[in-house]
Structure 1
């Protein structure tokens, strides 16, 4: 195809893994970078609170709306080209967001959202294709890298802004995209042919299996991911406010809770594959994840002073659950095309719910005048996630046994 000599051997596998993980650093970091500098950004651009919220909510909405289009592009163009183009677009959107007024910032944010959508769909396909014997482990590392990018920008954007201003602070994270693009092109090129256990190309058939969109496991995983994503984005948006209102923590201190929640997502992403590698049944792992998630809303209701413990448990759970869901996708889809369609369906439903999470919790808080009802909404989403995940894992075992 491209004439590029195929990469083989352990060093080549290390390069492929580095490319995937550096790419993953760019799939949340540009979004979470905004929160630490939202106040100076609002003042400079003359935005209302709703307008500033739009800049944080648009990427998640893009995840839902653009996923079907991205799936089609992956089928026609292949992962190598689409991922490389998405990194160029992340860079362009990051620079554009910081370069002008409110309209320019919105356009840049949309570009970032669409570009990240490509990664959301492409990476599970790449992992299933290029790391077939290590799907759980690589998916866990990918999840950890997602959270790592969030921790990086959440922690360092504000100090950078104090030195160079919010515009340069946000734009500087485009360097992550430049590094990732260089490594990705070295590992995959623009149009590299499939290697090793990979199949014939982007239009790979489903090996005679029923279409993934007709399998109950796909839609059960969609419900599980919807509950996970709704809870994740709702908690990320409102946890500092809960702690400020309920415990009287300063805004800066309560904002640290969100970073704690993200940080321990890395632990979950790495810990789940380790548990699965020690032959802990996946349904037991999923049950433990449910317990960790449930502890956050219940703990904040009954013992809010213990919030570091609840944030830690839920952080591990959210990172671990992401790894479980997309490990199941990679191992049950049956082909590259099946993984692409399955991932697209799950993420369209999940991120559609996620986009509603912050707004729903805010509306419930306004209507109820407190945080008890919103936390019960989060608990409901987590319980729906748990039930759907257990049913999906039971169906997935049936698929493996087929």
Structure 2
């Protein structure tokens, strides 16, 4: 539908209620959402590709820069801290700049961060890591809002689709990193730089969208105008339950992404094979998120998904404890369960809210808390390994976190809305 046939622009109050008169079956029509799905997919390409292979290079980083494992884990933790710190600011940034320009700016910062991280020198690797974390932090929050805006009747399916793309791209990026360091471990900087191709592709497309969309059109589709503050979820029990589920899911997943290669190498598995197992984890995440698209369409109750996904993750952790020789299989279990819990957590932001403003507020809160908690996981558990010289205690703690994940998930996945 073109601008000439879209009809008059509805008042802001009706937009906030999600009752735009020019909405299609998928969402509001008009120039602002043309190419929306392509744009979301290109954003998804960049939400994990630059961080997915970091765990594979940590042994080479610690050897080359003479870092401890706890310090090296900062390359994983810093982006998570950026997610936690900047997530609450993302809705305000998008209202100020407009959605398209916000995404474009975030991708530009991400691109610079990836390149800067690969420049020789310890200062640059930290600076680049902070910048790429800042870019992804904004993308993490605005993407569920984009989905809620442009696909209000298919939010769960589109969320599963872009989550699947995240998993697939992360698997490709991990394989690329493993291949490069397999040639020569000293090429770890080049391996980390390889993900810039995804950032450049996304930046080019969103620059095109930003240039072809007028400032007025972009701002018409914001979740809440600046003179109408978004509702606060911080005193809502269901919002905290979603945040707790996000916290446990993210912590277990990022600990495994960070330390799985090191856990395997302690059991005598070669570095290249361990890196490929990590790519299997990412690939299993992809398959699970595609399955999640089908499961999430079955109704408003996601409790069965939470139970099954957590049990699969538990199987993977227990397998690493009792039979590490089958690490590839256990990595697939962790990835499959993690993919299901991730897509469920992201879908809950839209499924437990009614308007774009509510979705943005809950997304910012849930991701801020979730990633703040998750940031502590790799560092604290890496320090535990440094102190004990063994990964058994770390894996046992992860089992405890999975129990907490089940409790929080069962409450968050019950049908309902945060603002009833």
Q: Is the 8 A contact 1:209 1:334 kept in 2?
A: no
Deviation at 1:355, TM superposition (A): 0.8
Deviation at 1:94, TM superposition (A): 1.6
Deviation at 1:186, TM superposition (A): 3.9
Q: Which residue of 1 aligns with 2:411?
A: 391
Q: Which residue of 2 aligns with 1:61?
A: 81
Q: Give the aligned length.
A: 394
Unaligned segments of structure 1, at least 5 residues: none
1:284 aligned onto 2:304: yes
- Taking a change above 3 Å as real, the CA distance of residues 135 and 224 of structure 1, as seen in their structure-2 partners, is same
> Equivalent residues in 2 for 1:374-385 (5 A)?
374-385=394-405
Q: Which residue of 2 aligns with 1:315?
A: 335
Within the candidate set 99, 102, 105, 1:79 is matched to 99
- Taking a change above 3 Å as real, the CA distance of residues 101 and 321 of structure 1, as seen in their structure-2 partners, is same
Normalised by the length of structure 2, the TM-score is 0.82
- 1:199-245 residue CA offsets vs partner (Å, 9 max, x unmatched): 75242599999643332111001111110011011111222233333
Q: Which residue of 2 aligns with 1:182?
A: 204
Q: What is the rounded CA distance, in whole Å, between the counterparts of 1:62 and 1:210 in structure 2?
A: 23
Q: Which residue of 2 aligns with 1:254?
A: 274
Unaligned segments of structure 2, at least 5 residues: 7-21
Corresponding residue SS for 2:272: helix
Q: Is the 8 A contact 2:177 2:194 kept in 1?
A: no
Deviation at 1:165, TM superposition (A): 4.6
- Taking a change above 3 Å as real, the CA distance of residues 254 and 116 of structure 1, as seen in their structure-2 partners, is same
Q: Is the 8 A contact 1:75 1:337 kept in 2?
A: no
Q: What is the rounded CA distance, in whole Å, between the counterparts of 2:231 and 2:190 in structure 1?
A: 50
Within the candidate set 371, 377, 389, 1:351 is matched to 371
> Equivalent residues in 2 for 1:1-400 (5 A)?
15-38=35-58, 46-49=65-68, 51-160=71-180, 162=183, 165-187=187-209, 189=211, 201-204=222-225, 211-245=232-266, 247-279=267-299, 281-394=301-414, 397-399=415-417
Q: What is the rounded CA distance, in whole Å, between the counterparts of 1:109 and 1:4 in structure 2?
A: 45
Q: Which residue of 1 aligns with 2:19?
A: none
Normalised by the length of structure 1, the TM-score is 0.86
Deviates further, 181-190 or 72-81: 181-190
Q: What is the rounded CA distance, in whole Å, between the counterparts of 2:73 and 2:393 in structure 1?
A: 22
Deviates further, 96-105 or 230-239: 96-105
Q: Hey, which of these two has a bigger chunk of helix by percent?
A: 1
Q: Is the 8 A contact 1:84 1:181 kept in 2?
A: yes
